[in-house]
Chains A and B, each alone.
Chain A
């Protein structure tokens, strides 16, 4: 039985000790800073290294990563992160170089980025790549700026971006940040882009249509050629959200599907770790007609030397300083070298097989809306559980955690009710997937109270998100202020204040009594 560590919830700010940090002796400065700018006090802890390491090691044990177990979080491609990438990305030749060093002193780094760009060109079917964007959404934003620059250069004022309703939320957000009005088009009855709706949505005002293929249901948009004709027919650009690229490497590519701009998520497709939320990297690839607008610098090769070209008059400039998340780029390139062309193709094949395998095993138990054949992920609905037992997708997700399994993405895409979006990736064994399927089947038969009150075995029990949003306490400083406003300690009503929590705790107590044992 899985049981996650539970340590006391003390903050580092509540711990006490004597620091053992030291700096080499230096003479005191009597006038280090202007008098008007001197700090009175700094309220951060002062602890010995031993206490700090214990604190954060204990916290890490209250966390679940891919190394702990199965993490089939749909759309996030939580594949295993090979450890040779840790070795190469922490080399001094990666860590200890300054971005403003002369080109001659960073030839190796420039070569690596140059070769990575070339590899991504082949994988994406594009003609040029910039490694600058720091994340997938940042790549989308960059792509939208490129579209804006492209049309500005042509003297066309196109103000709209069209997006299907199944798109990742970052798509409309990125387009809006770049100043576009966003039009969402509904999907057809097959879960794919509705060609008629698309045809009537695009016009001479449309700058781009953003899609991911396979889409977020894991369905390959078979009409992609027709989509490209419609979009290009209106003079607009076709944008490929590379979040789902892990499904199709070596079988097709965005360039071949006639996309103009594409972003890659190196932390998904190319196995760089997700870092608890980041860093990632979101390179952008483009066809020839967009290349002049790419961010500066471009990495160029001349007479066997690598250099940086800033002389690009039509470039959009910078989307972040320097060259991108270099340490992440090193990881991704080492993965590409390790896999090779055939290995990457096989990774996609296995990812698709895993997904279809799990889907087949689950489709009798849960509803599978839309067609059968899926790519690297699939979406099932727990609608029946809701109708029959008042158990929601959220409850199923929380109950999975009790078994030491990470939950799928839930409630997305929104056109599927009670959605569970499962992406097993290619790195999990049949045994791991069978276990997940068995647990999901078992949960479907469990006592609904047990599911609704889950999780039981994790470091924290069901969390009160409403309270978090209402109080909006985002720092220890803010917590202390609120505490002071209320008097020395939080009032008694404050404990279990939310009625939802009370009812769940009540549920659990009666359940424990009835079945006469602990529920874990």
Chain B
């Protein structure tokens, strides 16, 4: 540390103050009122001991989902995203020296294209919720209309983010109900909300209640000319029909499940895909396939005339820094598990949820599953006591409980959303069920 005097001397400056002579006296401050710096050893020790009080999934099985999930991550994912050639680079403005990240991101786009059945994918949004916000504004760009339909059963956080993205362009958010018996969308209610004014319709597969809707494949008939936006859990696409096959215009989703840890909910990975004919209206950085002067295959950022640094206030989005490294993690994850592995993981998730929801339902006082539809890896149950109280009880047993639904879907007050994935062993389920039984 310290200032290199020889640099000052060489440019004929006598002291550092001279370099700040342009900062008016009236706005100066006298240094920073922060503690002195620590050694590396002390920093690591300090952070470790501060965070030591966090309860982690290493100690407690976690039955909470609601947008972020505890999945198994093959070790090689971390190996790849720890390559500092990747993680210490920035947005590949100089394509020739950045072919590695460009190809990795193009492959991410290609994996998501294959999963979703769409042709055009961007190299990431911040997360699934902001991707939804950008999808709503893109629908408005596509058809000029200003009403956007969303499910009533959706995370309140996602609704709040969406409202903020919709505020600027003045897009009205309208909710359609769910079927209280199946947990699927209420087709009747959706149809009654449809009109010439609807810009886009958002559906989630699986939905917030964990249900895989059986009517989705024919949804296009109900929504006519409105844009169809589908929110996916990409792991479920190992077994589920790609939204491109049932008429999606835009597919978004939360990609954290593809090789990123939960990290208290960040960084996440916003998936954003669309049909080829809409590419010039889409937000975000996109990587294109091209060639260099020798005719060799190469990659570069493309369609930049949509973007903020060229188009400024007329840009399709303000996004600049995105979640590129999480996209590389997703590509690596998908390459490692492969086509059969992804289907298998999806099946294991379905199987685990099916067995757990049944077992919970067998406990006295518990209703589970509350909905009769097909489920992916989450389901709604109604415990005999308040969900908050149940979670406190579970925490005492070193179990991270589920998500109380009152705040998200007010008419499901008293209900809880539970998630289970391939990481849960039979013993974890048994331990969980024993703890539940204590309140029944």
Q: What is the CB-to-nearest-CB distance from A139 to chain B, in angstroms, rounded to a whole number?
A: 10
The interface bits of chain A over 21-47 (1 if a CB of B lies within 8 angstroms of the residue's CB, else 0) are 111101111001111111110111111
Bound-complex Cα distance A21 to B91 (A)? 32
CB of B129 within 8 A of CB of A145, answer no
- Verify A463–B90 contact, CB threshold 8 A: no
**A330 CB within 8 Å of chain B:** yes
Are B27 and A256 closer than 8 Å at their CB atoms?
yes
Asked if A273 contacts B88 (CB within 8 A), the reply is: yes
Counting CB contacts under 8 A, is B85 at the interface?
yes
Contact A19-B338, Cβ < 8 Å, known A26-B347, A57-B80? yes
**A44 engages B111 (CB within 8 Å):** yes
A505 at the A/B interface (Cβ < 8 Å)?
A: yes
Tell me if A327 counts as interface (CB < 8 A to partner B): yes
Q: A65-B86, A112-B51, A474-B279 are in contact. Are A337 and B265 (CB under 8 A)?
A: no
- For A45, list chain B residues within 8 Å (CB): 335, 338-339
- B199 at the A/B interface (Cβ < 8 Å)? no
Q: Are A249 and B32 in contact (CB under 8 A)?
A: yes
A275 near B336: Cβ-Cβ < 8 Å:
no
A99 to chain B, nearest CB (A): 3
- Interface status of A333 (Cβ within 8 A of chain B): yes
Q: Which residue of A lies closest to B263 (CB)?
A: A327
Q: Which residues of A contact B374 (CB under 8 A)?
A: 32-34, 37
Task: Tell me, in angstroms, the Cα distance from A455 to B294 when the chains sit together.
Answer: 12
Identify which of residues 72-119 in chain A touch chain B, using a CB-to-CB cut-off of 8 Å.
Answer: 73, 76, 78, 81-82, 84, 86-88, 90-102, 104-109, 111-112, 119
Given A252-B29, A472-B279, A458:B54 Cβ within 8 A: no
Contact, CB under 8 Å: A224 / B276: no
Evaluate contact between A472 and B120: CB separation under 8 angstroms. yes
Question: A277 is contacted by which of B56, B170, B322, B345 (Cβ under 8 Å)?
Answer: B322
Instruction: Report the nearest B residue to A347, measured CB to CB.
Output: B1
Across the interface, do B24 and A224 meet the contact criterion of CB distance under 8 Å?
A: yes
Contact of B68 among A99, A169, A320 (CB under 8 A): A99
In the complex, which residues of chain A have a beta carbon less than 8 angstroms from the beta carbon of B351?
26-27, 29, 32
Enumerate B217-239 residues with CB–CB distance to A below 8 Å.
Answer: 217-218, 237-239
B107 within 8 A of A: yes
B193 located at the interface, meaning its Cβ lies under 8 Å from any Cβ of chain A in the complex: no
Chain B, range 54-69, C-beta contacts under 8 Å to A: 54-58, 62, 64, 66-68
If A101-B400, A108-B52, A280-B321 touch, does A337 touch B37 (CB 8 Å cutoff)?
A: yes
A406 near B97: Cβ-Cβ < 8 Å: yes
Counting residue pairs across A and B whose Cβ atoms lie within 8 Å, the total is: 695
CB distance from B316 to the nearest CB of A (A): 9
Known contacts A91-B51, A99-B68, A122-B34; A471/B127 CB under 8 A: no
B337's closest neighbor in chain A, by CB?
A21
Shortest Cβ distance from A511 into chain B, in angstroms?
13
Closest B residue to A101 by CB, please name it. Answer: B400
- Kindly report which residue of chain A lies nearest to residue B267, judged by CB atoms: A279
A169 / chain B contacts, CB cutoff of 8 Å: 307-312, 315, 320
* Segment of A48-56, A193-201, A378-386, A442-450 in the binding face: A48-56
Interface stretch of the complex, out of A231-239, A284-292, A475-483, A512-520: A475-483
Bound-complex Cα distance A334 to B45 (A): 10
Query: Could you tell me the distance in whole angstroms from the C-beta of B170 to the nearest C-beta in chain A?
Result: 7
> Which of A29, A42, A61, A84 has most chain B Cβ within 10 Å?
A42
- Give chain A residues whose Cβ lies under 8 Å from the Cβ of B264: 94, 97-99, 106, 109, 322-323, 326
Segment from B142-150, B326-334, B361-369 that makes contact with A:
B326-334
A476 to B89, CA, bound (A): 24
Say whether, besides A37-B217, A341-B35, A324 and B53 are in contact (CB < 8 Å). no
The answer, among B23, B129, B213, for a CB contact under 8 Å with A320, is: B129
- Say if the beta carbon of A158 comes within 8 Å of chain B: no
A461-520 CB contacts (< 8 Å) to partner B: 461-465, 467-469, 471-479, 481, 495-496, 501, 504-505, 508
B169 touches A179 (CB 8 A): yes
Q: Mark A144-175, 1 if CB is under 8 A from B, else 0.
A: 01001000000000000000000011101111
User: A138 on the interface (CB 8 Å rule)?
Assistant: yes
Question: With a CB–CB cut-off of 8 A, which chain A residues contact B50?
Answer: 108, 111-112
Q: Is B192 in contact with chain A by the CB < 8 A criterion?
A: no
Of A13, A43, A96, A275, the contact of B87 (CB 8 Å cutoff): A275
- B317 within 8 Å of A by Cβ? yes
Q: Which of A56, A252, A361, A461 contacts B80 (CB 8 A)?
A: A56
CB of B196 closer than 8 Å to a CB of A: no
Q: Tell me the nearest residue of chain A to B285, going by C-beta.
A: A277
Does any Cβ of B come within 8 Å of A12's Cβ? Answer: yes
Contact of A42 (CB < 8 Å), options: B2, B89, B339: B339
A438 in contact (CB, < 8 A)? no
Output the residue of A134, A346, A357 with the most chain B CB within 10 A. Answer: A134
Given A98-B62, A176-B314, A346-B3: A49 and B87 interface contact (C-beta under 8 Å): no
Q: Which residues of B contact A406 (CB under 8 A)?
A: 94, 97
CB neighbours of B309 from chain A (8 A): 168-170, 412
**Chain B residues with CB under 8 A of A134:** 126-127, 130, 266-267, 321, 323
CA distance A175 to B242 in the complex (A): 35
Contact B302 A276 (CB under 8 A): no
In the complex the two chains form, is B47's CB within 8 Å of A334's CB? yes
A328/B267 contact (C-beta < 8 A), A321-B129, A473-B289 known: yes
Taking a contact as CB atoms under 8 Å apart, the answer to whether A467 and B291 are in contact is yes
- B98 at the A/B interface (Cβ < 8 Å)? yes
Which residues on the A side are within 8 Å of B37 (C-beta)? 337-340, 342-343
Supply 30 A–B pairs (Cβ within 8 Å), ascending by A: A29-B351, A39-B343, A49-B74, A60-B86, A60-B100, A62-B99, A64-B97, A65-B85, A100-B64, A100-B66, A122-B33, A134-B267, A138-B319, A250-B29, A258-B27, A273-B87, A274-B90, A278-B323, A279-B267, A320-B126, A342-B32, A343-B37, A354-B7, A455-B97, A461-B292, A462-B292, A472-B280, A474-B121, A501-B292, A501-B293
4 smallest CB-CB distances across A and B, nearest first, come from A340-B37, A322-B265, A63-B100, A179-B168
